[in-house]
Amino acid sequence: DAKTTQPPSMDCAEGRAANLPCNHSTISGNEYVYWYRQIHSQGPQYIIHGLKNNETNEMASLIITEDRKSSTLILPHATLRDTAVYYCIVRVRGTASKLTFGTGTRLQVTL
Query: Which residue ranges make up the site for other proteins (CB under 8 A)?
Result: 32, 34, 38, 41-46, 49, 51, 87, 91, 93-104
Q: Smallest gap, in angstroms, from Cβ of residue 90 to other proteins?
A: 11
Taking the least distance from each CB to other proteins, the nearer of 79 and 97 is: 97
Q: Smallest gap, in angstroms, from Cβ of residue 47 to other proteins?
A: 9
The C-alpha atoms of residue 18 and residue 68 are separated, in whole angstroms, by 20
Adjacency order of strands within the sheet including 105-110:
9-13, 105-110, 84-92, 31-38, 45-50
Taking the least distance from each CB to other proteins, the nearer of 13 and 99 is: 99
Adjacency order of strands within the sheet including 55-56:
18-23, 70-75, 61-64, 55-56
Q: Smallest gap, in angstroms, from Cβ of residue 17 to other proteins?
A: 23
Taking the least distance from each CB to other proteins, the nearer of 40 and 66 is: 40
Residue pair 74/17 in contact (Cβ under 8 Å)? The answer is yes
